[in-house]
Amino acid sequence: MHEMSLCEGIREIVETAARTHSAERVTRVRLEIGRFAGVEKTAMEFAFDVVMRGSPAEGAALEMIDLPGTATCFDCAKDVEIEDRFAPCPLCGGGKLMPKGGDEMRVKDLEVA
């Protein structure tokens, strides 16, 4: 389950931010997760709870914000949202798409007490 290693990276970010801002406790972590990032949300929630034990984010709420998949269509020269990497352009039906977003995952912000 790669969600465990993702949460270990999140823990490092949380600990660094808490230390930098003299925060004793993190109460909420908001993540932005792209449609194509390959993150299983249920596994992420479980891994987050396990990995955050003993950290400033122990017991923190995890909020996951979905980001759409995006691509540039070479047929109509538009940027479009796509449901999957191999979908045709929703505007013109063209098949020449260059994916440009949706595989990212990042910590958007932290709420501290």
| Domains contained in the chain, CATH given | 2-68+102-112 (3.30.2320.50)
pTM of the model: 0.86
Q: Identify the helix (H) or strand (E) that includes residue 7.
A: helix 2-20
> pLDDT for 17-45, tens place per residue?
999 999 999 999 999 999 999 999 999 99
Summarize pLDDT for 65-74 with one digit per residue, the tens. Answer: 999 999 999 9
Nearest Cα to 33, choosing from 15, 56, 10? 10
